[in-house]
């Protein structure tokens, strides 16, 4: 099992748009992907404009298939407007114990 964490920082005036995009366009599409076990979009309580897309996957192969899929391209298209103003960092983790 692998957890994929995408840290997104957007300007304060773009937070509502970021939440709307995820709820309406991205989250539902992501969870439908084979091997995706869960997905959450987390909003920071301390840092306005900071979000984490947190998803759990069966394995790296499932993530790779998703990243090569039309669903991934669709999500990128939906979030492209934010990408010009957002800082994005992708990390993956596996259970260590």
Indicate the number of domains in the chain.
1
Kindly state the tokens that stand for 77.
Answer: 């298209």
CA distance 64 to 13: 33
Q: List, for residues 10-48, the tens digit of each pLDDT value.
A: 888 888 988 998 888 889 999 999 999 999 999 999 988
CA distance 86 to 38: 24
Q: Please give the pLDDT value at position 86.
A: 67
Which CATH number do you get for residue 80?
Answer: 3.30.70.100
Domain limits for position 14: 2-94
CA distance 4 to 33: 14
pTM: 0.82
Q: Please give the pLDDT value at position 83.
A: 63
């Amino acid at each position: 099992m692998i957890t994929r964490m995408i840290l997104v920082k957007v300007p304060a005036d773009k937070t509502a748009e970021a939440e709307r995009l995820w709820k309406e366009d991205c989250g539902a599409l992501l969870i439908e992907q084979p091997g995706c076990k869960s997905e959450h979009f987390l909003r920071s309580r301390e840092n306005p404009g900071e979000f984490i897309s947190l998803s759990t996957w069966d394995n790296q192969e499932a993530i790779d298939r998703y990243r090569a899929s039309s669903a991934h391209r669709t999500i990128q298209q939906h979030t492209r407007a934010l990408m010009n103003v957002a800082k994005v960092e992708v990390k993956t983790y596996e259970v260590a114990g």
